[in-house]
Amino acid sequence: MKLALITPTSALKDFAVQSDGIHLCLVQEVLRDEAYASFYRERSDVGDTIILDNGTFEMGKPAPMEDIIRAAEIVDADVVVAPDYPDKPCVDTFKAAIDFSEVLPAKYRMMLVPQSLIGDVRDWLDGMEAVLCTEQKVTDLLKPIIDRIEMVGVSILSCPNAFGPMIGDTEPEICRFTAFQFLKCVLPWRKGVRPIKIHCLGGGARLDLIRYYDWAFSMDTSSPVWHGWFGTAYEHGFLPSGKTKTPVNFQAECPDLYKGVIQKNIRQLKASAKQAESTALRCASELEKVRPCVSANMSKFDFRS
């Protein structure tokens, strides 16, 4: 699994450069901070993949379409996260993505982020299948844009919304772990799986669960840097007091005192991401033993490249 490390502007050159050739930047920061925007433009110039987020997590709703497009042009983004609407039916997000595609210049690829009403596991799963599987009925709605979809996002918002009521816990990584188990029960048996990359939007407090996201191509997270910022280190793969509720302050100055803690956190996160790759290889091997046609179908996911 490739990692995109999110950091305040003052720490970009120390820590965001340790990302695995892929970055996620935020539309609102690109538009208000020239130094932030310049860093990601430079990473684009050297060939890294730049994902531009739409601001839903931080602002509660996506930024205006014209702002997203202007930010994409500034950083020369490769993939743009289409508008998504948590706690609304998935079809609302799909329709917004279609409208967005009509104004988004053709050179940009898109990431779709299926959402759902609170507790509506079926709607979330239908949304994921609609993007990833050619045989699903909702796919007809996506036909006009399916060739522009590079990634599908498994969001730190969508998973607690959909799965929290069912499992009685809204801890993001526990819910995302559950979401991946549902996908693993369904997708191997579907026909026509598309080679669309799965991206984990946001990271939580549980490094021990990342190994189970073995179908994910990439993940973005501020967690190792922002928790380390305050001297909080992972202990045995856990944040001792859980994930902080303090939002990332992108204008904060990097504390020299805790740079070692931040680096330690990054090393542990990278180790967990490597475990996910190992799990992917092991699962592919097991699928070959159980049902070769299932393995051949799932090989369309390019998990590691």
Q: Is residue 67 part of a domain?
A: yes
Tokens of 192: 């026509």
CATH number reported for the structural domain that contains residue 151 in this entry? 3.20.20.70
Q: Is residue 20 part of a domain?
A: yes
* Domain containing residue 186: 2-298
Q: Is residue 64 part of a domain?
A: yes
Better-scored residue on pLDDT, 279 or 178? 178
Q: Which residue blocks in 78-207 are alpha helix, DSSP H? A: 90-101, 121-132, 139-142, 158-167, 172-186
The 10s digit of each residue's pLDDT in 203-231 is 988 999 998 998 999 999 999 999 999 99
Q: Is residue 286 part of a domain?
A: yes
pLDDT of residue 290: 46
Q: Is residue 229 part of a domain?
A: yes
Question: Which one, of 4, 3, 2, 8, lies nearest residue 258 by Cα?
Answer: 8
Q: How many structural domains compose the chain?
A: 1
Q: Is residue 190 part of a domain?
A: yes
Q: Is residue 303 part of a domain?
A: no
Q: Is residue 305 part of a domain?
A: no
pTM: 0.92
